[in-house]
Amino acid sequence: MGYNMDTEPEPKISVLQQIRKREVELSVKVDEARRKAEQVIADAKKEAAEILKNAEMEGKKAADEYYNERYANILNEVENLKKLGEEEAKAAKTKGEQNLSKAIGKIVKVVTLE
């Protein structure tokens, strides 16, 4: 007759064996918890890197938008100043042309009197 697990009682284990068995069980649980913690840390590092990358991209995008907006404003201001200068030059030319005949008359008078 062989050993039948269904009918015969489990052999008694010593207290030392029970402690060792419990140590092994706890060691397995600690290792599992350590692996989970390492995975959580790795995931957090990955997420933090992704957040940083996104923040850098958003910051660069915002800076580029600001730069482009300011640059467009400067170009617009330059164009307005050019137009204003052209208008002032045109007004000065028109005024000068209007006064040209008077100036010629005065010059002729001065030259002919001498």
| Percentage of the residues of the chain whose pLDDT score is greater than 90 | 67
Compute CA distances 78 → 28, 73, 111, whole Å. 74, 9, 45
| Percentage of the residues of the chain whose pLDDT score is greater than 70 | 89
Q: Model's pTM, two decimal places?
A: 0.51
Compute CA distances 43 → 7, 40, 49, whole Å. 51, 5, 10
Helix residue ranges, H only, 1-114: 15-113
Burial profile 66-97: b = 16 or more Cβ within 10 angstroms, e = fewer: eeeeeeeeeeeeeeeeeeeeeeeeeeeeeeee
pLDDT tens string 39-62: 999 999 999 999 999 999 999 999
Confidence of residue 91 (pLDDT cuts 50, 70, 90): very high
Confidence of residue 10 (pLDDT cuts 50, 70, 90): low
Residue 58 C-alpha from the chain's centroid: 3
Q: Is the pLDDT reported for residue 1 higher than 50?
A: no
Q: Amino acid letter at 36?
A: K
Share the mean pLDDT of the chain: 89
